[in-house]
Amino acid sequence: MATLGAGPVDDGARDGQLTFPDAAYFIAASRLRPGLDGGYTVATLQRAMHLEQVAGVIPTLLTFDPAPMEGVLEGFRGLGLATERTRIRNLFEELRERPELVRDAVLHPFTEPADADPAPWTDVVAHDGTVVLRLPFIRQVDWFRVPAPLPVLAADGGVLGALHGFGELYRLWVDAVVAEVAPRDAVVVSEAKQVGELLVGGPRDYTLVHTVHNAHTRPPHAWDSEMDPLWSGWFDVIDRFDGVVWLTRAQRADVVRRFGEHEGWAVIPHPAQPAAAPPDAASRDPFRAVMIARLVEQKRVEDAVRAWPAVLAAEPRARLEVFGEGPLRGELEELIAELGVGHAVTLRGYVPRASDELATAGLLVVSSRHEGWPLSITEALSGGCPVVSYDVPYGPAEMIQAGVDGELVAAGDVEGLAAAVGRVLGRPDRIAAYSDAALAWARAHGPERAMAATSELLVTAIERSRRRRLS
Count of domains forming the chain: 3
pLDDT band of residue 111 (cuts 50, 70, 90) is: confident
Packed helices 447-470 and 38-55: angle between N→C axes, nearest 10 degrees? 90
Q: What is the mean pLDDT of residues 135-158?
A: 94
Same domain as 379, residue 326: yes
Q: What is the mean pLDDT of residues 308-322?
A: 98
Residue 460 has pLDDT above 90, yes or no: yes
b/e 154-175 (16+ beta carbons within 10 angstroms → b): eeeeebebbbebbbbbbbbbbb
Same domain as 424, residue 316: yes
- Quote the pLDDT of residue 7: 43
Question: Do residues 30 and 86 touch, judged by C-beta distance below 8 A?
Answer: no
Partners of 3 in beta bridges: 24
pLDDT band of residue 241 (cuts 50, 70, 90) is: very high
Q: What is the mean pLDDT of residues 437-456?
A: 96
- Quote the pLDDT of residue 118: 57
Residue 16 has pLDDT above 60, yes or no: no
Residue 347 has pLDDT above 80, yes or no: yes
pTM of the predicted model as reported, rounded to 2 decimal places? 0.93
Is residue 103 assigned to a domain?
no
Cis amide prior to 220 (ω within 30 degrees)? yes
Q: What is the 3-state secondary structure (H, E, C) of 425-441?
A: CCCHHHHHHHHHHHHHH
- Quote the pLDDT of residue 1: 44
Same domain as 252, residue 194: yes
Residue 4 has pLDDT above 60, yes or no: no
The residue type at 80: G
Domain that holds residue 321: 281-444
148, 164, 180 - which closes a domain: 164
Is residue 102 assigned to a domain?
no
Same domain as 203, residue 332: no
Alpha-carbon span 417 to 365, nearest angstrom: 9
- Quote the pLDDT of residue 93: 97
Q: What is the mean pLDDT of residues 313-331?
A: 98
Of the candidates 465, 361, 367, 469, the one whose C-alpha atom is nearest the C-alpha of residue 416 is 367
Is residue 230 assigned to a domain?
yes
Of the candidates 204, 133, 194, the one whose C-alpha atom is nearest the C-alpha of residue 172 is 204
What is the sign, positive or negative, of the torsion defined by CA atoms of 449, 455, 460, 461? Answer: positive
- Quote the pLDDT of residue 114: 65
- Quote the pLDDT of residue 368: 98
Same domain as 388, residue 308: yes
- Quote the pLDDT of residue 181: 93
Model pLDDT for residues 71-105, shown as the tens digit of each residue: 999 999 999 999 999 999 999 999 999 999 999 99
Alpha-carbon span 418 to 461, nearest angstrom: 46
Residue 233 has pLDDT above 60, yes or no: yes
pLDDT band of residue 139 (cuts 50, 70, 90) is: confident
Model pLDDT for residues 164-203, shown as the tens digit of each residue: 999 999 999 999 999 999 999 999 999 999 999 999 999 9
Is residue 276 assigned to a domain?
no
Alpha-carbon span 407 to 135, nearest angstrom: 48
Is residue 100 assigned to a domain?
no
Question: Do residues 168 and 152 touch, judged by C-beta distance below 8 A?
Answer: no
Residue 12 has pLDDT above 90, yes or no: no
The residue type at 117: D
pLDDT band of residue 160 (cuts 50, 70, 90) is: very high
- Quote the pLDDT of residue 116: 58
Q: What is the mean pLDDT of residues 118-130?
A: 88
Q: CB 382: neighbour CB atoms within 10 A? A: 23
Lowest-confidence region among 234-243, 274-283, 402-411: 274-283
Alpha-carbon span 163 to 165, nearest angstrom: 6
Same domain as 409, residue 306: yes
Same domain as 381, residue 453: no
Alpha-carbon span 155 to 151, nearest angstrom: 13
How high is the mean pLDDT of the chain? 93
Percent of the chain at pLDDT above 90? 88
Packed helices 428-444 and 375-382: angle between N→C axes, nearest 10 degrees? 110
pLDDT band of residue 307 (cuts 50, 70, 90) is: very high
132, 148, 164 - which closes a domain: 164
Same domain as 253, residue 147: no
pLDDT band of residue 38 (cuts 50, 70, 90) is: confident
- Quote the pLDDT of residue 301: 98
Residue 471 has pLDDT above 90, yes or no: no
Alpha-carbon span 395 to 249, nearest angstrom: 9
Same domain as 239, residue 143: no
Q: What is the 3-state secondary structure (H, E, C) of 44-113?
A: HHHHHHHHHHHHCCCCEEEECCCCCCCCHHHHHHHCCCCCCCCEEEEHHHHHHHCCHHHHCCCCECCCCC
Same domain as 322, residue 304: yes
Residue 17 has pLDDT above 90, yes or no: no
CATH label of the domain that carries residue 285? 3.40.50.2000
Of the candidates 393, 422, 385, 392, the one whose C-alpha atom is nearest the C-alpha of residue 408 is 392
Torsion angle, CA of 46/47/50/52, rounded to 10 degrees? -110
Is residue 101 assigned to a domain?
no
Same domain as 242, residue 118: no
Residue 270 neighbours by CB under 8 Å, 6+ apart: 43, 46, 47, 247, 373, 375, 378, 450
